[in-house]
Each structure stands twice: as structure tokens, then as C-alpha cells.
Chain A
Amino acid sequence: MKLTRRAALASAAAVSTFSILHRANAADTLKIGVCSPLTGPAAEVGAIQLNSLKLSTAEVNAAGGILGRQVELVIEDDATTNPGIVLAFSRLAANTDIAAFIGSIRSTQVNAMAPDVEKVGKPVMFGGTDPTLTHNGYKWLFRCRPNDSFSARVIADFGVNTLQLKKWALVCSSDAFGTGGQNALIAALDKLGLKPTLVQPYANQQADFTPVVLAVKQSGAEVIASYFTFEPDLAVFARQVRQLGVRVPWIGSPSIVSPVTRNLAKNALFGTYGIADFTPDANDESKKFTAAYGKVHNNALPDSGWTYDAMKILARAFNDAKTTDPVKVREAIIAIKGMKGTEGTYNYDANGDGLRGYNIVKNVDGNIVYDRHIEFDS
């Protein structure tokens, strides 16, 4: 066959075009939108969570990325406020190249962004623990931490069955997270045949907790159970609990074991119990993650692994679905069973909940010591 000049040129053009397109496709990243508290009261823990996410993303990319594409994070500041996260999400959602999102650890913020998430119709991984977030009919929210119905059940189970305490004072933030935790605690205690002696909500970001501590003292409670949203609030409360002579066991939601809280409260938290969705030495995944995090961040300890897990879950779901089609990716997330993560073993249900248990830990002279893991079937 004789190769004409015109055919040769056409072939060369086709090869060049294919080559350019192929290279463009290879360089094309898969974008994940991230709403992160770069500023505001949650900025401290937000920075740790973002570091964890970046570490996970680097590992996913090193392992070949998602669907053969490198993962790129597109980060917007949610300012630790509800309007802030709504604005941040709307900015991200306007970028149609973004295939999925990572939201907030704060339930109140997830609640605020949820209606927009439904309109956008792409998966959003989040860390908020208000149980209602996955039970309000929202299809696109996927939780990467156990919800508060489990945290409350673990707190109640440990306090009643292990510590043998019957008179409970509940101190909870009046925001969505705290109210959700408070209601779940009341329900969990009710199942164990108990009614709390004191239910004491408080508003976030207070300079003084004297009225709360005095209410606990006067209630004659044998144990404090708490859901604090902001670490500085918890630290102020802890100091005043000790100063005003309240000497009862205290079992707190995960913020009580956060490095930020412990750094601020110091010995005021010694001897307290906490439930922790993430504990560095709880399982093999968390040990590996903690070691990798410390290597990159000067031996610092991560305070949670949910953002790290979120990226791994998304990577698995996209690769299982073999497409970026949101509906197929959603189905792939729900199909995840027995996936080992830093926060535990993920078994997603149709609501978007993957985890059902917590670790109990104790603050021993400033060190968080793993005590036990309490898991529920449903």
C-alpha cells in the first residue's frame, strides 16, 4: 500500500491529537472538595484533621490514585460557623469538576449544609456525630465516625455497668451536637432504667462555668457525662469543676481526650474518662496512621482519624464503582463492609453510618490510656 502525503499528514495529526488528549487525561486530577475550619474556634483541631487528610491523600496518590487519576484537594475555609460552611460548600459545589466532598466534624455545621448537599447530589463524608444527620432522609451524607447514639450508649454502659454509678449529671452544649448527645444519653440511660439527676445545657464559648458547676454540685450527682463542642469551654469547665470541689467521676465525649483540650486544661482533666472514636493504639490501622503522622509532623499525635479514613473510603468507593457517577459511588459506599480504618471497622448501612462502637480511655497524668472497646451490633 502506498502511503500518500495526505494520508501521512492525517495519521500524524491523529497520533498527535491522541497523544495530547492522553497526556491531558493523565494530568487531569480527580478533585475532592474540603470544607475545613481554617479559622475560628475549631481552627486548632481543624489543622490536625487537614494534615491527616493530606497524609491520606498522599498515600492514595502513591498507590495509584483514584480511577488512575491523582487526587487533588480543593479546600475552602468554613470559619467554624454555620454560615461559613454553607458559603464554603456553595463555592465548592460551583466547581462541577469536584466529584465528592469532605465536610465538617461539627454536627451543627453539617446540619446547616445538608439541604445544599442534597441539591448538589454528590457524596459528602463528614465527622459530626449527631445521630439525626443520617436519619433525616439525607441521601448524600456518609459518616466516618460512630454517631452519638453509640457514644451515649457506650458512656451509659460504662458508667452504669462498669463504674456502678446511678446518679447522673449531663452537661451538654446547647448546639446541635450537644443537644443530640444529651438526648441520646437520656435515651441510653432510660434503657438502663435510669433518669438523669441533672440535665444542664450551656451556650458555647463562655468565660465562666460557675453556675453549671454549682448546679452539678447541688444535684448530688455521682458522675458527670458531658458533650462539649469547643475545647477551650471544656478546659474552663474542667478547671472550675476541680476548684469548686466537685470530685465525681467524669466521662466525656471525644473532645475530652483531644490534645488541644488536654494542653489547655492540664491536670484539671487527670483521672477523667473519655470515649474516643480514635485512639492511637486501639488497632493496627490507627497505629500505622499515628506513626506516619508523627513522622511527617514532628512526632505530633493526631486527635482523630476520620478525615484520613474518609479519603480511603472515597478512594475505595470510586475504584469499586469504576466511575465518578455519584449514584454509583453512593451505592459503592453503602456496599462497604468490613473495611478496616483508624476509627474502627466500617460496615456502612443505607443511612450512611459505618461505625457502631467507641473506645473507653482514661486520662492518667496527662496520658491517654486505652481501657476497652465497647461495640454494639445495631
Chain B
Amino acid sequence: MFLQLLFTGFGIGAIYALVALGFVLLIRAASVVNFGQGEFAMLGAYALVIAVNMFHLPYWVGIVLSIVVMAGFGVAFAGATYWPLRNRGGLPVIISTIGASIFLENMVLVLYGPNSEQIDGLFDNPGFDIGPVFVDSQYLSIIVVATLLVALQYFIFERTLLGKKLQATSQDKEMASLLGIPVAMMILITFAYSSALGAVAGILVAPILFVSTGMAALIALKAFAANIIGGYGSIPGAILGGLALGVVETMGAGYISVPYKDAFAFLMLLMFLMVRPQGLFGEKISEKA
């Protein structure tokens, strides 16, 4: 039972981690907490449903199209929610993203209706047994893709010029601008990447949760909690925070109480806020200053 719960916890945690990663990128690049991050996942999943179920495109083509479309959508989202308010501090932008998330959810509801959509997983085989553990192929895909994306992210940020520019932008926009880095372009790229990441999370989770307008809220709240637990704005923190959250809530449900599953996740968040408010990898503001 322990190993099964652990595997499932990692699978669920990897979903939180992917969405949390999108949160972190925008916090780092544009100092924006984007509450539309869950909607990126929802829209990515709907894009896949439209491509595969409606237009009967091959699954992999649907995935690529969804990611590309969502990357473009990220730029449009930035133009609508971030750009007009970028010089007015953080709060107006946060409220703008909350408004946009409500708008997007309701827009999909109007356009696509309230029906949950079923979509097949990446593989025909639902999974396989390793000893007493059933390895769900979709959960396994999520864990593998999350690992690859973290590795890719590390490579881009640490080993490429684009990554250095993005980091410079996130650390000090004025200085980056003085050094000739196109700050606006860097921020738009971050929005596009963040949106694409959300789409990947939505695509991966769609066969498990089904595709509905409610799926965004289910993921985004936990992903945001993962971000706080891991350390506000920390990339490794988002990954570890997401995984820890997934494992803790699954283990708590398995060994203590199923109805209080969500409570374990938020209890963990509360404990971190009380004992280690900077999270696993965060810096205290005073130290940063």
C-alpha cells in the first residue's frame, strides 16, 4: 500500500509541480502572481480535446498544436492583463489575472458548454504491475515529462544566452535594459513559456481528471500552495513543494482520513507559513535586501 500511495502521490505532485513551475517563472521574470495559471492548463486540455475529439487529428499532432496555440495565448494574455498595468505595482496585475481567470473559465463554459469531456491517455495500455504496485501509464508519463521539463528548464536558464537574459530580466529589469537586453521581449517569452507549461500540465492531467472548466481551480490552488511551500519564486522549490504536497495529501488520505485529504495539503501549507515562511528554498526578504 505504501509504495502504491507513494507512486500516486508523486504522480499527483508532479502535476502540481508543473503548474507551480509556471507560477514561479512569472514571479521571477515579471514579479507577477498569475492566478490564471490553472486556466492555462484548462485551455490546453480543451485545445487537445478540440484537436483530437473534434477534428480527429493524431494525438501527438494535437499535443504539439495545443502547446503552440497556448504559447501564443500566453503572449496575448500578457498583452491583456500585464502590459497595460506593468507600471502600477504588483496588486493591480494580480487582480487583473484573477479577473482574466474568471473570464476565461466562463468563456469556455459559454463556448463549450458544461459537459466534462473524456479524452484518451497518451498510451493505449493503462499501465502495468511492478510487484504490488500498479504503475498507471498516465501518472508515469506525468512524472517523466515533469522531470524532462525541469532538466530542460535548467539547461535553458543555466546554459543558454536566452536563459541568462531571462535571469537578468528577473533579477533587475532596469539593469538588464541598460545592458541591452530586450526586457519586454523577455517577459513576453516568459508568459508564452509559462502558458505552454500550463498546457502541458492540462494535457497530461486531462485523461485522469477529464476536461472541464472546474479542473483549473482543482489544480491551481494546490500548485500555488506548492509554490509557497517550496519557496516563493524558487524553481527547485516549486518542484519539491509540488511533489511533497502530492505525497503528503495522498499518504494522509491513505493512512489517516480520506475526507480530510485536502486538509492535509493545506495543513502542511499552514505549518510552513508558521515555522518556515520562506519555504524550502526561499530567501528571507531581509537577507535578500
Are A201 and B250 in contact, with the CB atoms below 8 A? Answer: no
Assign chain A's interface to a size class.
35 or more
Q: A243 is contacted by which of B115, B136, B210, B261 (Cβ under 8 Å)? A: B136
Contact with B along A35-57 (1 / 0, CB 8 A): 00011110110110000000000
Please indicate the chain B residues that have their CB under 8 angstroms from the CB of A208 in the complex.
8, 11-12, 208, 250
Contact with B along A158-184 (1 / 0, CB 8 A): 000000000000000010000000000
Q: A44 is contacted by which of B4, B114, B258 (Cβ under 8 Å)? A: B114
Are B218 and A207 in contact, with the CB atoms below 8 A? Answer: yes
A236 CA to B139 CA, complexed, in Å? 13
Are A211 and B127 in contact, with the CB atoms below 8 A? Answer: no
Are A263 and B118 in contact, with the CB atoms below 8 A? Answer: yes
- In the assembled complex, A202 has its CB within 8 A of some CB on chain B: yes
- In the assembled complex, B1 has its CB within 8 A of some CB on chain A: yes
A236 touching B208 in the complex, CB below 8 Å, given contacts A243-B134, A266-B118: yes
Are B254 and A202 in contact, with the CB atoms below 8 A? Answer: no
Q: B134 is contacted by which of A174, A201, A207, A244 (Cβ under 8 Å)? A: A244
Counting chain A CB atoms within 10 Å of each CB, which of B205, B253, B262 scores highest? B253
Q: B4 is contacted by which of A47, A207, A210 (Cβ under 8 Å)? A: A210
- In the assembled complex, A283 has its CB within 8 A of some CB on chain B: no
Please indicate the chain B residues that have their CB under 8 angstroms from the CB of A232 in the complex.
116, 209-210, 212
Binds B, one of A212-220, A339-347, A367-375: A212-220
- In the assembled complex, B214 has its CB within 8 A of some CB on chain A: yes
Q: B116 is contacted by which of A39, A231, A244 (Cβ under 8 Å)? A: A231
Please indicate the chain A residues that have their CB under 8 angstroms from the CB of B134 in the complex.
243-245
Q: B115 is contacted by which of A44, A200, A205 (Cβ under 8 Å)? A: A44
Are B209 and A207 in contact, with the CB atoms below 8 A? Answer: yes
Please indicate the chain A residues that have their CB under 8 angstroms from the CB of B109 in the complex.
39, 43
Question: DSSP class of A's interface residues: helix, strand, loop or mixed?
Answer: helix
- In the assembled complex, A335 has its CB within 8 A of some CB on chain B: no
Are A211 and B126 in contact, with the CB atoms below 8 A? Answer: no
A360 CA to B12 CA, complexed, in Å? 36
- In the assembled complex, A206 has its CB within 8 A of some CB on chain B: yes
Contact with A along B107-151 (1 / 0, CB 8 A): 001000111101000000011000000101000000000000000
- In the assembled complex, A336 has its CB within 8 A of some CB on chain B: no
Please indicate the chain B residues that have their CB under 8 angstroms from the CB of A200 in the complex.
258
A264 touching B210 in the complex, CB below 8 Å, given contacts A208-B250, A212-B258, A243-B136: yes
Please indicate the chain A residues that have their CB under 8 angstroms from the CB of B210 in the complex.
232, 235-236, 264
Contact with A along B202-236 (1 / 0, CB 8 A): 00010011101010001100000000000000000
| Nearest CB in chain B to that of A265: its residue | B118
A203 CA to B260 CA, complexed, in Å? 7
A39 touching B114 in the complex, CB below 8 Å, given contacts A207-B209, A211-B250, A214-B4: yes
Q: B5 is contacted by which of A214, A243, A266 (Cβ under 8 Å)? A: A214
Contact with A along B228-261 (1 / 0, CB 8 A): 0000000000000000000000100110001111
CB distance from A215 to the nearest CB of B (A): 7
Contact with A along B44-62 (1 / 0, CB 8 A): 0000000000000000000
| Nearest CB in chain A to that of B135: its residue | A243
- Show 30 A/B contacts (Cβ-Cβ < 8 Å), sorted by A: A39-B114, A43-B114, A43-B115, A202-B261, A203-B262, A207-B15, A207-B205, A207-B208, A207-B218, A207-B219, A208-B11, A210-B5, A210-B8, A211-B250, A212-B258, A214-B1, A214-B254, A215-B254, A215-B258, A232-B116, A232-B209, A232-B210, A232-B212, A235-B118, A236-B210, A243-B134, A244-B134, A263-B118, A264-B118, A264-B210
